[in-house]
Amino acid sequence: MSSILKSLKMFSDPTRLRILMLVAEESLSVAELQEILGMGQSRISTQLSQLKTEGLVSDERSGKNNMYSSTVDEELMVVARSAAREVPEIQNDLASLRHLLRKRRDSARAYFDELAGRFGKDYVPGRSWKALAEALIKVLNYRVVADLGAGEGTLAQLLAQRAEKVIAVDLSPKMVEFGQSLARKNGLANLEYRLGDIEDPPIADKSLDLAVLSQALHHAEHPQRAIDAAFRILKPGGRLIVLDLIAHHFEEARELYADRWLGFSESALAAMLEKSGFSQVETIVADREPAPPHFQTLLGIGERP
């Protein structure tokens, strides 16, 4: 049996407690803990080693990975869970864990990732991502759509070909002026540009069928607020689509592109969507750029219940 005093010392460290709460729910590898916690391998391995020394976790080999599980007895776990209530990050950790477990269960995911990776590598006349995207936009059937952080409004103009009404929101007066003039020029009377912040868009509550944050979230000062706002303005059954960058280390992006955040991990985006109240949350790496710095595009989807 673990020493109670030594166990209490282990519980006093927030990082160890976060790890313990996760492996108490599911056996996890170091790589999976990295994905959920957003920490380096050495830091997590060190904490796991300490927990294992005190008999609070065990590990078992599974393929190439060691899978870690909690071995804390029920009485000590009651204490650990009480302490965990004082660590605010744990709720997000558990949301990220749920997302990771959904990924595990998706047996088709690996196949489709491989399929997407092959698309475009072999030349086929007339086949391209652009043509495919244009075709899919043509069959969209949403009545009221918002392009949040629309920029010059390329996506908004494409959506306006099918939607009954499209609202494009951007923080830049020049972008709004340019986009509106372009919409008039192209005869898109159903496309309206509005000046506003994606964290508090000038759109009525529960008025949208679809909201899109396309490469806009990493510019937000508070990304969670932007997703909360999208939830607010969607009707029940409405969907949010997020296209953004996977977390990266290209620091120059802050200066070159005025990026506030260096992308987001799949689990972080899923956790934010769930925290806002979205259901049927899905994420996937939708694209990988071949040229340095090899940006990857993250696609996230959620539905307002």
pLDDT in tens, 187-211: 999 999 999 999 999 999 999 999 9
Mean per-residue pLDDT for 275-280? 95
Mean per-residue pLDDT for 153-164? 90
pLDDT number for residue 262: 95
What does residue 256 show for φ and ψ, rounded to 5 degrees? -70, -40
pLDDT number for residue 83: 92
- 5 vs 272 pLDDT, higher one: 272
pLDDT in tens, 278-293: 999 999 888 888 899 9
pLDDT number for residue 205: 98
pLDDT number for residue 149: 96
Query: Radius of gyration (Cα) for the chain, nearest Å?
Result: 22
pLDDT number for residue 117: 58
pLDDT number for residue 111: 61
pLDDT cut 90: percent of the chain above it: 70
Question: What would the two tokens of residue 98 be?
Answer: 């749920």
Instruction: Decide if pLDDT at 14 tops 60.
Output: yes
pLDDT number for residue 113: 62
Instruction: Decide if pLDDT at 33 tops 80.
Output: yes
Mean per-residue pLDDT for 32-59? 93
pLDDT in tens, 106-147: 655 666 566 655 666 666 677 677 777 777 777 777 899 999
pLDDT number for residue 124: 63
| 141 CB neighbour count, 10 Å cutoff | 9
Q: Which domains does the chain have, with CATH numbers?
A: 4-87 (1.10.10.10), 109-303 (3.40.50.150)
Whether pTM exceeds 0.85: no
Distance separating alpha carbons of residues 137 and 145, to the nearest angstrom: 12
Instruction: Decide if pLDDT at 274 tops 80.
Output: yes
pLDDT in tens, 54-112: 999 999 988 788 999 999 988 889 999 999 999 999 999 999 998 888 877 765 566 65
DSSP string covering the chain, please? ---HHHHHHHHTSHHHHHHHHHHHHS-B-HHHHHHHH---HHHHHHHHHHHHHTTSEEEEEETTEEEEEE---HHHHHHHHHHHTT-THHHHHHHHHHHHHHHHH-TTHHHHHHHHHHTTTS--TT--HHHHHHHHHHT---SEEEEET-TT-HHHHHHTTTSSEEEEEES-HHHHHHHHHHHHHTT-TTEEEEE-BTTB-S--TT-EEEEEEES-GGG-SSHHHHHHHHHHHEEEEEEEEEEEEBP---TTHHHHS--SS--B-HHHHHHHHHHHT-EEEEEEEEEE-SSTT--EEEEEEEE--
Q: How far is the CA of 62 from the CAs of 29, 66, 204, in angstroms?
A: 9, 6, 51
